[in-house]
Structure 1
């Protein structure tokens, strides 16, 4: 079919770049390639079809699909007469980013706040310990102040995440909603 090679080349270029960009966020390039493959499909795909397209094992494919589902980037769909699980990519790039960003950053914030809380508890106990020199108390107080500044940052970051999840962010940075079908 005329144009098929050029179409595949154009798609592959974008899929390659997506897979590398997702790697920045801790998602393997193979999982990024899978999302790119699903994004450009005009129909749902089975694990076997994905496996054949990407040359991955069925186990690896299943794990990758689950990972994308956990990030809300892929959905399982039902099709009458088909007993195999079918999957499609979430095509709304804004929603994909918001979900991806929110899930990854919310977990990171929680982990960091837990570590800080634990350290603050220990430092507050340490500063009250008998025999602690004034020099050591000064260092501990400095660390406590730094950790409270970090907590302020994480509280701000949680509010930023909230603004993404509530879509309030789009009041300040609107989505582009132009029709690009004839571009």
Structure 2
């Protein structure tokens, strides 16, 4: 191995570590970040065994990490002629990764909050309109206002997610050429 090749490897390791650390900010484990980083720098699709050797993790951990990356569309499974093992490649476009990740998180958040609001709003409305307890009615009316604020928020984040998903976001915040 030449000195230049070793220096390149070291540079890649530094960037892979930075990718792993930055993914922690978004709630992704460092090990999943390292898997992505290794695939990001790979010139060829890699098998689970090849990834495992690069990141020094168990095959089961690598498999779970790959599954997580596939769900966020940061990694794709590819078929290679004449080979039985699955191979994986990384999406190299950080902007696409960012948009896919955030759209997924926004939709998860919306589903959680919507379910809670749908489940509780009839009870809160009933108390607000029919309770004989004046304090309970006051609190229920306040909670209804808060629920409306949550609905407005959900509407806004869904419009944001749709704008990100469609690419219309770039009409407002253009990509650098």
TM bracket (short chain): over 0.9
CA drift at 1:130:
4.2
Structure 1 stretch displaced more, 89-98 or 37-46? 89-98
Please name the residue that 2:147 is paired with.
Answer: 147
Please name the residue that 1:105 is paired with.
Answer: 106
Please name the residue that 1:45 is paired with.
Answer: 46
Question: Scaled by the length of structure 1, what TM-score is found?
Answer: 0.91
C-alpha deviations, 1:21-80, integer Å up to 9, x for none?
211222111001100110001111000000111111111111111111111110111222
Please name the residue that 2:157 is paired with.
Answer: 157
Equivalent residues, number: 176
Please list every run of 5 or more consecutive structure 2 residues that lacks an aligned counterpart in the other structure: none
CA drift at 1:131:
2.5
SS at match of 1:131: coil
User: Structure 1 stretches (4+) deviating beyond 4 angstroms?
Assistant: none
- Contact residue 20 and residue 32 of structure 2 kept, 8 A: yes
SS at match of 1:43: coil
CA separation in 1, counterparts of 2:55 and 2:111?
35
Please name the residue that 1:181 is paired with.
Answer: none
CA separation in 2, counterparts of 1:128 and 1:172?
43
Please list every run of 5 or more consecutive structure 1 residues that lacks an aligned counterpart in the other structure: 178-183
CA separation in 2, counterparts of 1:28 and 1:130?
48
CA separation in 2, counterparts of 1:169 and 1:23?
25
- Contact residue 20 and residue 31 of structure 2 kept, 8 A: yes
Question: Scaled by the length of structure 2, what TM-score is found?
Answer: 0.93
More helix by share: 2
